Structure 1
Amino acid sequence: MRPASAVAGLVLAAGVLTACGDAGATITRLTVGTPGPDPYTLMSGTDKTDIKERPKAGGTTTGDSPGLYGGTRREATCDPQKLIEFLQANPDKAGAWAKVHGIPVDDIPRYVSRLTPVVLRTDTLVTNHGYRNGEPTSGPAVLQAGMGVLVNGYGVPAVKCNCGNPLTRPDKKISPDGASYTGRSWPGFEERKVTEIEPRDAKKGTIVTFVLVDPEGTMGFERPRATEGEADGPPAELPATETELTGDSPSPYDSGLPSPGTGSPGTESPGTEPTGTESPGTPSPGTGEDGGDQPASPGVTSQDPGMGGGGDPTGAGTGTGSGTEPGPPMSLPPGEEPAPPVG
């Protein structure tokens, strides 16, 4: 019979393993400009090698955070249409690709057309799904800042642009701290600066406008969802999150402090609020606070491209003009897109 102290030690150890996740996992580092293992296809010119990384990196954040993603104004390096055409020409790969995202193969064009091309501004933890010898593969990976991705309506990376691989959120048991890494590293890589992106709260609806930052980190601008740069808003001030001075604070993974944006990502399905319900503090479309007419925001469409349906999305006309700080991403009425999975 084991002494009580030994049993207590085993229980404590089990609790530590549960709290810290699978620290023994092997994570693959994937650098900009390289497709990595098991690519679905090959696409060039999708990544940025000289991007200025986000000042606040590491821990967990939500996909609607202003300045989380970057891009070049009036330009997109990722071509969703090429991805659609490739998958349509390769039905076996299309079947595996669609299964990752839980959609029918015939729905690939509609699904991809709703995604938005952006560039990562932090080293980001994901699950990378590949294809090798006729079979799908998957595993945890860290994508280097500067890599082009397509993000879904909740702000979560869904496609790795330089190879077409579908992406999903990392397993909750995987932690970048204390994990084993394979693949070439890069200057500035630190485990504590690896970011995990959670979906925007489903009760807020899907994002209509992303607030991006240019590669040099000198300005912000708005990009309507499901557009490729042609509808980008005018240059604006950087979001407040990009101008704050940050010290060497401990990683939220091991500090015991709550991570930013770690609220439950939508425990209720969209549609729990009436369609057309506006986000808190958002004036009615087309009206100012005094009820008068208000011009539409530059770079914000009156209807989410690729979504179908008519009417103005919630929050239309609340954007900012040139020379002002971009506001937070606006949202569509709940129910426009299925909620992200919980957990």
Structure 2
Amino acid sequence: MRTPTTTLVAAGALAAALLVAGCGGAHEHTAGATGELLLRPAAAPGPNPFTRSAATMPPPVTRTPQRDSAAPRTVSGGMPGLYAGTEGVGSCDVERQIGDLGADPSRRSAFARISGVSPASVPGHLRTLAPVVLRADTRVTDHAYLGGRVSGHQSVLQAGTAVLVDDRGVPRVRCASGSPLTPPAAMRGGAVQSGRPWPGYRPGRVIVVVPSEQVITELTIIDLVDHAWIERRIDHDCRHDHVVP
């Protein structure tokens, strides 16, 4: 675990790093695939969700300040202050997701396949992820489920979206839809944007979260209530949260 001084210095540098270089190695996401880019509002499940919404309704999120870029910037999943949350309170009801997926074996198998785990491992997999809230509009590959089939969609998740992240700090589940998330596919020019932009949305300020170089056991997040710095374990149980002195 970081010392408090190191944590605060690193967290205080987040805004400056995003403004200048985009963080996480300061390289831009490379263009590639064409198609539709869906805008996903924070609280909307969207069409054909995997489960009922398991997201709790967080207070408004203070966006991470950054400059426009021609392509999404990459940010390390371990960067302090990248995510937000409320001390001792999860942004996602993991047990509800587990129950919904367990009630439908076909849906659970589809979720497991996209997540890279066995169907029997889905409950344990979900419980090893940490519930947080995005502080920046974030590119991902989102997934929908209909009639036993899964479809992947290039998407932008709005800042304020509740997600579950893994031990590299990468979003793995969107709580409002229960859908598994995977890294975004690069997109060439000509992609069609679908959905109504929300206030504050600017394509040049969208980020892509990349895995931290090392496995992390705790994330340093910003408290949504009083803006204090919190250390949160990579785990679904937020009762072990503690404020950084």
Alignment of 1:224 onto 2:233: yes
Counterpart in the other structure of 1:174 = 187
Q: 1:100 & 1:144 partners in 2: Cα distance?
A: 22
TM-score (norm 1): 0.58
| 3-state secondary structure, aligned to 1:230 | helix
Of Structure 1 and Structure 2, the greater strand share is in: 2
User: Which one of the candidate residues 64, 67, 89 is aligned to 1:75?
Assistant: 89
Alignment of 1:40 onto 2:50: yes
Alignment of 1:94 onto 2:108: yes
Question: How many residues in Structure 1 have an aligned counterpart in Structure 2?
Answer: 213
Gaps of 5+ in 1: 1-18, 237-321, 323-343
User: Which one of the candidate residues 55, 80, 83 is aligned to 1:66?
Assistant: 80
Per-residue deviation, 1:144:
0.2
Per-residue deviation, 1:72:
0.8
| Letter matched to residue 164 of structure 2 | L
Per-residue deviation, 1:37:
1.9
RMSD of the alignment, in Å?
A: 2.0
Structure with higher Rg: it is 1
Counterpart in the other structure of 1:241 = none
Counterpart in the other structure of 2:197 = 185
User: Which one of the candidate residues 55, 59, 76 is aligned to 2:65?
Assistant: 55
Does 162-171 or 38-47 show the bigger shift?
38-47
Counterpart in the other structure of 2:4 = none
TM-score (norm 2): 0.81
Deviations 1:115-144 (CA, angstroms, capped at 9, x unpaired): 000000000000001101221111100000
CA distance 1:20–1:64, shift in 2 (3 Å) = closer
Counterpart in the other structure of 2:127 = 113
Per-residue deviation, 1:228:
3.1
| Letter matched to residue 199 of structure 1 | P
Per-residue deviation, 1:25:
3.0
Counterpart in the other structure of 1:328 = none
CA distance 1:49–1:125, shift in 2 (3 Å) = farther
Does 107-116 or 35-44 show the bigger shift?
35-44
Per-residue deviation, 1:26:
1.6
Counterpart in the other structure of 1:129 = 143
| Letter matched to residue 198 of structure 2 | W
Deviations 1:59-102 (CA, angstroms, capped at 9, x unpaired): 11111010111101111120112211211111000010000012
| Letter matched to residue 180 of structure 2 | P
CA distance 1:94–1:73, shift in 2 (3 Å) = same
User: Which one of the candidate residues 196, 204, 217 is aligned to 1:208?
Assistant: 217
| 3-state secondary structure, aligned to 2:37 | strand
Q: Is the 8 A contact 1:52 1:217 kept in 2?
A: no
Q: 1:44 & 1:150 partners in 2: Cα distance?
A: 11
CA distance 1:59–1:216, shift in 2 (3 Å) = farther
Q: Is the 8 A contact 2:110 2:148 kept in 1?
A: no
- Identical residues among aligned pairs (%): 33
Q: 1:39 & 1:180 partners in 2: Cα distance?
A: 22
Task: Say which structure, 1 or 2, has more relative contact order (CA 8 Å, 6+ apart).
Answer: 2
Per-residue deviation, 1:22:
3.5
Per-residue deviation, 1:215:
2.3
| 3-state secondary structure, aligned to 2:239 | coil
Per-residue deviation, 1:44:
5.2
Per-residue deviation, 1:185:
1.0
Q: Is the 8 A contact 2:90 2:238 kept in 1?
A: yes
Task: List structure 1 segments (4+ residues) > 4 angstroms apart after TM superposition.
Answer: none
Q: Is the 8 A contact 1:51 1:146 kept in 2?
A: yes
CA distance 1:168–1:47, shift in 2 (3 Å) = farther
Counterpart in the other structure of 2:177 = 163
| Letter matched to residue 106 of structure 2 | D
